A and B are shown apart, each in its own frame.
Chain A
Amino acid sequence: MATTEEKINTEQTGNEIEGHEIEDEAIDDVKLTEEELKELEKIIEENKGQRGVLINVLHKAQKILGYLPREIQVRVARGLDIPFSKVYSVVSFYSLFSTNPRGKYTIEVCTGTACYVKGAEDILKKLKNELEIEPGETTDDKLFTLETTRCVGACGMAPVVIIGDDAHGRLTVEDVPKLLEQYQ
């Protein structure tokens, strides 16, 4: 019987098909600075012992780095005495929690019905082409992260794109390059 190690090697040479590969680097990605740690500790301290606060805590913790690296999740888990499996389960369930670093600006293209009917798909396509990334990805210069969202309630000015905190409505495909320039 081969050791586990050998098994991995021999089996990896088998007919490999892409799967959700898990890379350890992606997991051990970040070391928090003193200040960031303090901020996190404070958030945890304020919520300790109260019930039902996990999502709130994650929202606040996400503000520290703009996303939730494993490190933060582990600290939240330990701090609130919630299993790490559950913290991650919650993080991975909700689309507004991100486990990957974000660009300076997040571009959210509304793909809700009203925007969809008004051509949101074309706007999204144009943005993908301009930025050369897919939704969920960040540009190499770390300026933009592209996301889609399902209605921000500004359907009156569909199609809508949110960049950072600004909403931009009644967009056309032609507007896109100019729009991006404002943030470059």
Chain B
Amino acid sequence: MLVTVTIDGQEVEVSEGTTILDAADMLDIDIPTLCYLKELNEPGACRVCLVDVEGDANFQPACVYEVTDGLKVRTNTPQVIEARKRVIELLLSDHPFECLTCVANQNCELQSVAKQYGIRDLEFGGERNKFPVDDLSPSLVREPSKCILCRRCISVCAEIQEVHIYDVIERGFGSVAAPAYNESLMDTPCITCGQCIMVCPTGALHGQDDTQKVWDALADESKHVVIQTAPAIRVTIGEMFGLEIGSLVTGQLVAALKRLGFDKVFDDCFGADVVVMEEGHELMERLESGKDLPQFTSCCPGWVKFCESFYPSMLDNLSSCKSPQQVFGALAKSYYAEQAGIDPEDIFCVSTMPCVAKKYESQRPEMDSSGHRDVDAVLTTRELGEMIKQIGLDIKKLPEEDYDEPMGYASGAGVIFGSTGGVMEAALRTVYERITGERLEDFELKSVRGRDFKEAEIDLKDGRSLKVAVARGTGNARRLIHRIMNGEAEYDFIEVMACPAGGCVGGGGQPIYSGRDKWLRMVEDRAHRAKGLFEEDGQKEYRVAHENPFVKKLYDNYLGDPHGERSQELLHTSYVDRQLYTHEERYSDKKGEPMKVAKKNH
């Protein structure tokens, strides 16, 4: 049903149930918001979106107030502006003034409303909450003193990821969004996906910063510093330089890295190709023996930790193959070191990822099969973009350059790893060809139960068919697993990517946009970014991993058979049954360490 509302004297027709915020938007009237994230988090809590509704003594929140016919709203009276200012002032009065040194500086929603509303001074000073900074997690940093209690992180972690790390603790002035006991994320089953970072409007949640580690390595003459770039970086780093979402800048990226001083610039997609070989063989073996099916992909460390924490009974179903990052790292310090004649001790292996979970993964104790830490430092897209800016380069203006050999060439299969469904498709291309002797044509994944997850059935032409499924976001993975556990579905091969907005293209290390539409935008952007990846896939001479000449060479000269003895040792790993909510969850040697006290307080 359509209703007519009047906003600031202008009439507009909207359907019943539209919020004042959306109705105003149709008239191009912008109302500020902070807590609101369309369709994900609508608590009506922050109160910066207040408007004046005729007949109401109190101001009403535009973000959740649904219009009725004949409603008259004023969004621009001096009283409304005053009310919003007061709310912003109140928020700031319990906030550290650290913008200059804050990660969110110039990309902070609180900062921008404060600027928009011309807050120059605080009329109401007073006590401020001081909470310790939690930076024990290798992936995330929490600075609860900067939390404005918008609850976005709670929603995304609970509703989308279904990991439930945060809730509001305590009440009133002392309350804050935090894990139980305000414990370190290290002590929780946090899967380090970083999705909470993506939605936080302030600097209260952010990724660990490892850029200095990399600068130091680059400055160290004795180190041979190599870098691998994840597939999803090439379609997102351009955004940090003003390019359109999804722009493919592979060559320019390589150029930038070379100018940053990396000794070798490799492609992580090469690692992905190797993963396809390993995982594919594992799958064929399992299909043969009928054991431990379905096989789950294991290239997403967020998903792996999720499985370890919540579904330890499924651990045997996880592919034992490491992720491309770790496969690459292990090879860099063994195969490449041997080839190049460099002492692996002197190799410093950096990877750049769309992901903060990869930081944690690189620090898992078992990730040292090369005899050294396989990967020494992990940079997110955001950190890499910053480093490039620091040396004064603009990626748009760089010439295209090529990756270095022998680990710089990847097939199309390795490239599409960065998008949801890509890992699955890449592996299937090889498996299908090995079994049927034919090329796999493009196949379509059909949605199961709305948007929860997708599935497909592939005819193997020998009377067998392969049932596959793809889930993105761990909440969806949960539902998929429950379906399997309840016997409602049977699959052979399942890909899970922890990040809900299209897997790694929407990873927790990708550029962050502010604004109330950020959640929907992330979902939308995913399509553009994934398109970029499939574009590169299309341009590739080889589209299946086993045809990649460099991969062939690797197996012929070094590894032997896929899933053979040497690769099992180097490229495969094992998993841990993590006890939920006990401190046993800690995944490094930092057990029992107290959290440090917030450094900067006022």
> A interface vs B, CB < 8 Å?
1, 4-5, 7-8, 11-12, 14-24, 27-28, 70, 73-74, 77-78, 83-89, 92-93
Contact of B179 among A16, A17, A85 (CB under 8 A): A85
Assess A12 versus B167: contact at CB under 8 Å? Given A22-B181, A88-B180. Answer: no
- With A1-B213, A77-B581, A89-B180 known as contacts, the answer to whether A19 contacts B132 (CB < 8 A) is yes
**Complex interface: stretch among B232-240, B323-331, B384-392, B588-596:** B588-596
Q: Which of B138, B590, B596, B601 contacts A11 (CB 8 A)?
A: B596
Please indicate the chain B residues that have their CB under 8 angstroms from the CB of A11 in the complex. 596, 599
Q: Are A22 and B581 in contact (CB under 8 A)?
A: no
Contacts A7-B135, A19-B130, A88-B181 given; does A28 touch B164 at CB 8 Å: no
Task: Compute how far the CA of A21 lies from the CA of B132 in the bound complex, rounded to whole angstroms.
Answer: 7
Counting CB contacts under 8 A, is B168 at the interface? yes
Cβ-defined contact, B171 with A19, below 8 A:
no
B581–chain A nearest beta-carbon distance, Å:
4
Contact between A17 and B169 (Cβ–Cβ < 8 Å)? Answer: no
- Assess the A92–B169 pair: CB atoms within 8 A: yes
Chain B residues with Cβ below 8 Å from A16 are: 597
List B contacts of A74 (CB < 8 A): 581-582
A5 to B180, CA, bound (A): 23
- Which of A18, A27, A88 interacts with B167 by CB under 8 Å? A88
The reply to whether B581 and A84 contact each other, CB–CB distance below 8 Å, is: yes
Q: Closest chain A residue to B183 by CB distance? A: A22
The residue in chain B whose Cβ has the minimal distance to the Cβ of A3 is B213
Whether A5 and B590, one on each chain, are in contact in the complex, defined by CB atoms closer than 8 angstroms, is: yes
CB-CB nearest in chain B for A89: B167
What are 6 sample pairs from A and B whose C-beta atoms fall under 8 A apart? Answer: A19-B131, A83-B158, A84-B188, A85-B164, A93-B170, A93-B171
Measured CA separation A83–B601 after assembly (Å) = 32
**Beyond known contacts A1-B210, A8-B136: 14 more, CB 8 A cutoff:** A1-B213, A12-B596, A14-B599, A16-B597, A18-B597, A19-B598, A20-B182, A22-B182, A22-B595, A27-B183, A28-B583, A78-B581, A92-B171, A93-B171
Distance in Å from the Cβ of B480 to the closest Cβ of chain A? Answer: 18
**Would you give the 0/1 interface string for B170-206, flagging 1 where the beta carbon is closer than 8 Å to chain A?**
1100000001111110001000000000000000000
Inter-chain contacts of B550 with A (CB < 8 A): none
Does B171 contact A20, Cβ atoms closer than 8 Å? no
Q: Say which residue of A15, A18, A28, A85 sits within 8 Å of B165 (CB atoms).
A: A85
Contact A70 B181 (CB under 8 A): yes
| Closest chain B residue, CB of each to CB of A16 | B597
- Tell me which residues across on chain A come within 8 A of B127, comparing CB atoms: none
- A84 to chain B: closest CB distance in Å? 4
B453 interfacial contact with A, CB 8 Å = no
Could you tell me the distance in whole angstroms from the C-beta of B77 to the nearest C-beta in chain A? 36
Q: How far is the CB of B86 from chain A (nearest CB, A)?
A: 26
Taking CB atoms, residues of chain A closer than 8 Å to B216 are 1
Among A11, A87, A89, A93, the most chain B Cβ lie within 10 Å of the Cβ of: A89
Minimum CB–CB distance for B305 against chain A, Å = 16
Q: Which residue of A lies closest to B169 (CB)?
A: A92
Query: How long is the Cα–Cα vector from A72 to B471 in the complex, in angstroms?
Result: 35
With a cutoff of 8 Å between Cβ atoms, the chain A residues found around residue B580 in the complex are: 78, 84
B contacts, CB < 8 Å to A: 130-132, 135-136, 138, 158, 164-171, 179-184, 188, 210-216, 377, 580-583, 590, 592-601
Looking at chain B's contact residues, is the secondary structure mostly helix, strand, loop, or mixed? Answer: loop
The residue on A at minimum CB distance from B597 is: A19
A73 to B166, CA, bound (A): 15
- Given known A-B contacts A1-B213, A24-B594, A78-B581, A17 and B130 have beta carbons under 8 A apart: yes
Verify B136–A84 contact, CB threshold 8 A: no
State in angstroms the CA–CA spacing of A11 and B597 once bound together. Answer: 9
Q: Which residues of A contact B215 (CB under 8 A)?
A: 1
From known contacts A8-B593, A11-B599, A17-B597, infer whether A84 and B130 are also in contact, taking CB-CB under 8 Å: no
> A20-B131, A92-B170, A92-B171 are known contacts. Are A73 and B180 too (CB-CB below 8 A)?
yes
Please indicate the chain A residues that have their CB under 8 angstroms from the CB of B601 in the complex.
15, 17, 19
- A14, closest chain B residue (CB): B599
A16 to chain B, nearest CB (A): 6
Question: Which 3 A/B pairs are nearest by Cβ-Cβ distance?
Answer: A1-B213, A83-B164, A88-B180
The reply to whether B167 and A85 contact each other, CB–CB distance below 8 Å, is: yes
Residues of chain B within 8 A of A83, CB atoms compared: 158, 164, 167
Q: Which residue of B lies closest to A83 (CB)?
A: B164
Interface contact B179-A22, CB-CB below 8 Å:
no
Closest A residue to B172 by CB, please name it: A93
B180 touches A84 (CB 8 A): yes
Task: Give the Cβ gap from A89 to chain B, nearest Cβ, in Å.
Answer: 4
A residues near B594, Cβ cutoff 8 Å: 21-24
Select from chain A the residue with minimum beta-carbon distance to B136.
Answer: A4
Residues of chain A with a CB closer than 8 A to B183's CB: 22, 27
List residues of chain A with CB within 8 A of the CB of B167.
Answer: 83, 85-86, 88-89
B264 nearest CB across to chain A (Å): 21
CA A27 to CA B170, docked complex, whole Å: 16
How long is the Cα–Cα vector from A92 to B131 in the complex, in angstroms? 16
Q: Given A83-B167, A85-B179, A86-B164, is A21 in contact with B597 using a C-beta cutoff of 8 Å?
A: yes
B377 surroundings in chain A (CB, below 8 A): 1
A89 to B154, CA, bound (A): 12
Q: What chain B residues lie within 8 Å of A14 (beta carbons)?
A: 599
- Please, how many angstroms separate the alpha-carbon atoms of A39 and B168 in the complex? 29
The reply to whether B599 and A20 form a contact with Cβ atoms under 8 Å apart is: no
CA distance A73 to B594 in the complex (A): 21
Nearest A residue to B580 via CB reads A78
A89 to B167, CA, bound (A): 6
Tell me the complex Cα distance, A161–B595, Å.
39
Residues from chain A with a CB closer than 8 A to the CB of B581 are 74, 77-78, 84
- Establish whether residues A8 and B596, one from each chain, have CB atoms under 8 Å apart when the complex forms: yes
Given A17-B601, A20-B130, A22-B132, answer yes or no on A4-B171 (Cβ-Cβ < 8 Å): no
Residue of A28, A87, A92 contacting most chain B CB atoms (<10 Å): A92
Q: Once the chains are docked, how many angstroms separate the CA of A7 from the CA of B134? A: 12
Q: Which of B171, B580, B598 is the most central at the interface, judged by chain A CB atoms within 10 Å of its CB?
A: B598
CA distance A78 to B212 in the complex (A): 41
Q: What is the bound-complex CA distance between A18 and B601, given in angstroms?
A: 9
- Say which residue of A8, A28, A87 sits within 8 Å of B180 (CB atoms): A87
CA–CA, A64 to B131, complex, Å?
Answer: 31
The CA of A14 and the CA of B536, in the complex, are separated in Å by: 49
CB distance from B182 to the nearest CB of A (A): 6
Nearest Cβ in chain A — how far from B385, in angstroms?
A: 18
Closest approach, in angstroms, between the C-beta of A112 and any C-beta of chain B? 18
- From the candidates A21, A87, A89, name the one contacting B168 in the complex (CB within 8 A): A89
Contact A18 B595 (CB under 8 A): no
> Which chain B residues border A24 with CB–CB below 8 Å?
583, 592-594
CA distance A88 to B177 in the complex (A): 12
In the bound complex, residues from chain A placing their C-beta under 8 Å from that of B600 are 15
